[in-house]
Structure 1
Amino acid sequence: MKHKIKTEAISLFNLHGISNVSMKKIADGLGISPGNLSYHYKTKADLLATIYKEMYAETLDYILPGNTYITLFHFEEMMLKFDNLQQRYAFFFNDIVHIIKTYPEIAKQYESSNLIRFKDARKLIDYYIETGRMQPENEMIDYNKTIYTVWMTSTFWQSQKLAIQTKDYTVNKCPSIEMLWTLFLPYLTAKGLEEYQQLRQFVKLPNT
């Protein structure tokens, strides 16, 4: 029953937004009484905390492989996995500011996990620098800011599409990974660009 509750809640959150879905609405969607629902999850905060815990556990797979040569495809693969997660938990990223303000425990966990991701991302970039695929950092290049820009772009990718929906404006209609590559391509060396071109030859960008 708990799995059914979480599945129904995610579906309703994605459809209506978390603030517009009550525990009663979830119970009605499942055809159970509010009391039956509260037996498993006393509050919406408890339910959301469980959903977030599972969502976060899934992101633990987005780690650097050990004892192997890490190609540029690893970056793309991580970002594609994150994009897939965003689509399945769209409500979280569309309502992220509301969630942070309303659910402080989740906010703390989310901030902590992102700080870890920033460190992991820096390790990946340093590795690409050491292996000659990215330019060394200098007074004109601050990779910590680049990492933060990538985080902002990827985190708010779903919600920005809701903000700019005009059909004639096509810049934001591309796949998120295509937008993210525009942030990294200027920093690639000749060796890095050659590897990227090989990547594009064998791995096509996804459709929107």
Structure 2
Amino acid sequence: MKTRDKIIHASISLFNEQGERNVTTNHIAAHLGISPGNLYYHFRNKEDIILSIYEEYARSLLLDIFPVVSPDVKPLDAIILYMDAVFQAMMKFRFFYSNLPVLLAKNPSLREKYVEVQKCIADRVSELLLSLRAAGMVDFQDEDLPDIVSILRLVNTFWLSFYQTQTSKVEINDSVFYEGVLKILVIIHPYATEQALPEFLKAREMYRERFKAALEQKS
């Protein structure tokens, strides 16, 4: 693995474990056993590292993780894959979502990239919801679509921060993310058509079981 990639991966690990605010470039260099000068050869500062981390996250989300709506993928399966993938990606990059407003305020380049990526994500979520409606699985008015998309993205983006303000526990594990998926299903549930309701309930039960299993594993 190239030194630049090692710096990115080490930074993700340290930021997740210790909190981005508590980790300096010197900490990252010491963790890798390289000199600060070697690190600065690849990155100008910590903000530059975080921007590169987000670019990696955006590529994986939009190119590798985000399900493509197609005749081969059932619409409900696609949106469940989306929720699962987004929350798993958040697990890997959880430091970013724990301190999002501050990180964006400190780094104009990161904010610009973030806004660009979020626009793409909003478009993809809209496509998924429209595919669900075309398949007769949900029903909503056209004028409600932007608000539904915004609410879904709000939960995706800020669920982790909200969770951390509601508990004294500091550990973030799979149960937290399965709980987030269940919140998304609650939002979608009122729009489910009668024919689709059994599938939605089946999906909800599946994530409830995953949530319970993750809690038991933690204990």
Instruction: Provide the residue aligned with 1:125 in structure 2.
Output: 129
Per the alignment, residue 79 of structure 1 pairs with 83
1:37-57 Cα offsets, whole Å, 9 max, x none, are: 112222212212211111111
Distance 2:104 2:204 in 1: 37
- Asked if the contact 2:75–2:135 (Cα under 8 Å) also holds between the matched residues in 1, the reply is no
Q: What one-letter code is carried by the residue in structure 1 that aligns with 2:34?
A: I
Give SS of 1:32's match.
coil
Listed one character per residue, the Cα deviations across residues 121-150 of structure 1 (whole Å, up to 9, x for unaligned) are 122212222221111317xx7221111111
**Counterpart of 1:11?**
13
| 1-structure distance, mates of 2:95, 2:180 | 17
**1:137 aligned to 2:117?**
no
AA in 2 matched with 1:87: M
**What is the distance in 2 between the residues matched to 1:162 and 1:136?**
32
* Aligned-partner SS, 1:158: helix
Matched with 2:74 is 70
Cα separation, 2, equivalents of 1:198 and 1:182: 13
Distance 2:48 2:77 in 1: 37
CA 1:105–1:182: 2 relative to 1, 3 Å? same
CA contact (8 A) 1:80 1:177 kept: yes
1:98 matched to 2:105? The reply is no
Structure 2 portions without partners, runs of 5+:
170-174, 215-219
Indicate which of 182, 207, 210 corresponds to 1:178. Answer: 182
Bigger mean CA deviation after superposition, 100-109 or 189-198: 189-198
Deviation at 1:162, TM superposition (A): 1.1
Structure 1 pair 2/53, CA: closer, same or farther in 2 (3 Å)? same
Provide, for residues 152-181 of structure 1, a one-character-per-residue CA deviation record: whole Å limited to 9, x for no partner: 1111121212100068xxxx9662111110
User: Where do 1:3-42 residues align within 5 Å?
Assistant: 3-42=5-44
- Look up the match of 1:52: 54
The residue type paired with residue 194 of structure 1 is P
CA contact (8 A) 1:73 1:199 kept: no
Shift, 1:69, TM fit? 5.0
**Aligned residues, how many?**
201
In 2, the alpha carbon distance for the partners of 1:102 and 1:34 equals: 22
What is the TM-score of this pair, normalised by structure 2?
A: 0.83
| CA drift at 1:104 | 0.9
1:194 aligns with 2:198: yes
Report deviation, 1:198.
4.6
CA shift digits 1:81-131 (9 cap, x unpaired): 111111111111111101110111111111111112212212221222222
- Structure 2: which amino acid aligns with 1:64? V
Sequence identity percentage: 24
Tell me the distance in 2 between the aligned counterparts of 1:46 and 1:3.
13
Cross-structure match for 1:157: 159
Name segments (4+ residues, structure 1) moved above 3 Å: 197-201
The answer on whether the counterparts of 2:75 and 2:131 sit within 8 Å (CA) in structure 1 is no
